[in-house]
Every structure is written in structure tokens, then in C-alpha cells.
Amino acid sequence: MVSASANGHNALLVSVVLLATLCVCTATSPYAAGLSEDFYHTSCPQAASIVDAYVTKFLKKDRNFAGAFNRLQFHDCWVGGCDGSVLLNSTETNQAEREAHVNFGLRGVAEIDEIKAGLEDFCPGVVSCADILILAARDATAKVGGPTWSVALGRRDGVNSTALMADTNLPFPVLNFSGLVANFAAKGFGAREMITLSGAHTIGRSHCNGILPHLYNFTGRDDATDTDPAMNKNFSVFLKKLCPQGNRTNTIFIDSTANTFDRAYYKNVLQGKGIFITDSTLITNPVGKKVVTTFSKPRSSFFTEFAAGMVKMGNLGVLTGTEGEIRKTCQFVNE
């Protein structure tokens, strides 16, 4: 006859085994359902290396394209999900996302289409434009000194793209801290993740269009003296030379080391040298200022958290399975 203590011991062992099994079974994947790192392993095993080669080619020509590819991922995923809709052209009856006010000066679309053409030569009708965007952003970031991260693939391309959706979903460069927090919260991201992903401004450039409100219309007066008072005075003089009042089309690097992914962005923000209102506003909140200060220091977790944020962003609203399509060219839906 088994003793009561033995029964109790056996019951405890069973509970431990069940708990361990439950933990394994309920472990969450960092990727959206339908995506996997080996998605093209059989259908197009050279897909990632082809994208990587093209990204290397573009960065040799203009290293600043790293910022363009990062921006494309954000501007695609934030509007209806990561479905390549930001790449679509307008039609006679529809203004596409690229025509939105918030997408003024968007770069890299032709380059993504060039990558797509290269992939079509090897694997016609297999690799989506949505996946190309995700790969290009990752590869470009790593090639200019930033982190790398694992990429899950299997997204399909959307067929809808409207300027209104872009202007409704993407954050305008005049938002204050609470506005940014609300915008990111709507996509499932916290304040710290918002500050982390703002670090993408460590690479790239911008037209003056998004900078003018910071220099000439900070309080709504719309005159030459209506500059953010928190902006470094010498820096504001410098910016006004590059972006005269009313000039929307001049371009400016958005970071002091704009061709290198590093922590200089956060140092600049702390020094009153944020280009956009959305940069400077990060330190108007005590929590925000603490995170910015932390990320500005060597050996901070910025790179690790940025990589995690890009993976999470890449899960937004993905189309998989038989949803959407695999476009033949990225700027047009299939006939």
C-alpha cells in the first residue's frame, strides 16, 4: 500500500511536469501568426541574400538611404499593417499613401522596386514587397553601424492604399509628448518603445517641410521669431540658414552623425538640438527625459530595444496565407 506521503510526492511531481509542459506549450512567439524565419527556405532560398546585396549597392551610392529604408518600414506598417501599401502609386480615382502630407519627401520606393525586379528574375511571384521592406530596413540599419535582428517572413501585399489613411495614422512632426504616446498606444506600443523607435532619427535626412513649425510656428504665430524656446540658440540659427521661412523643399540631415546608426540622436535631443518638435518633446516629460538620458550613454540597451521594437512593428496587421497578393511590381497591384 502506497503511503500518503508518497502519494503527495507523486502528485507534486505530476503538477511540476504539467506546469512545465504548459509553459512550453504557451510560450509566445515574437512573430505574428503565419510568419517564420525560414518561410522562403524552399521557394526562394536566396531571397535574403539578394535583398542584402541590393541594399549594399544602394548604401555604397548613398549611405543615407539607411534612413529612407527605416522610414519606409515605419510608414508602411503604421498604416493598415505591414503590407507594402506605402509603395503603391496613385490612380486616376485614388490618392495613395505616398501622396499624404505626412509622407512628403518619402524616398526609397524605386530602390525597393529594383530589389523586387532582381528577386523576380530568380523567384517569380514568390517574395512580397512587404517582406522586402522589412528585410531592407534591417539590413540597412546593420550596415551603418546599428543592430541586426532576426526577421520572420511570409507577409503578403495589400491592394488598398489611401492618403487619408496615412494622414490619419502616422504621427505628424508637430505632436507633443502626450500626442506621441497616444499615437503609439493605438498600435500597442508603450511610451518607452515610442522613445526607442524615435531613435531611428539617428540616420537619414528630412525636407524642411517637417522642420519649419519648430523654427517659425512653434506657438502658432507663424513668424520668424516663433521658435521653440528650448532649442539651442546657435542650433536654431544654423537650421534657419538651411531652412528659410517658407522653404519646404531644402533637405537637411536629421542627426549630427546622420550616416551612422548610434546614440548621438539622444545626446542631441538633450542638448536642445532635436530637429523636429517630436524630437524635442521627448524630454518635456520626466519619464521621457530619463529614458533619453539612459539611451544617450554608452552600453545602454538602446540597440537591443530598438531591434525588438522593429520586430514588433513588423508584426502589425500582416496579411498571410491567401490574403492579399504577391505583387509583380511593388508600385502597382496585379491586374
Which residues does the annotation place in the binding site for substrate? 171
Give the angle 260-46-62 at the CA atoms, nearest 5°. 25
How many CA atoms lie within 13 Å of 186's alpha carbon, on the beta-carbon side? 14
Annotated binding residues for heme b: 201
Helix, strand, coil percentages in the chain from 3-state DSSP, rounded to 5? 50, 5, 45
> Cell 533619453 belongs to which residue?
292
The CA distance from 151 to 136, in Å, is 11
Contacts of 9 (CB under 8 A, 6+ apart): none
**8-state DSSP, 222:** -
Q: Residue 96 has which C-alpha cell?
A: 495613395
> Cell 517574395 belongs to which residue?
127
41 is catalytic: no
The CA distance from 315 to 80, in Å, is 11
Q: Which of 41, 75, 101, 214 is catalytic?
A: 75
First to last CA, the chain: 76
> Cell 500597442 belongs to which residue?
188
> Cell 522642420 belongs to which residue?
211
Residues with active-site annotation:
75
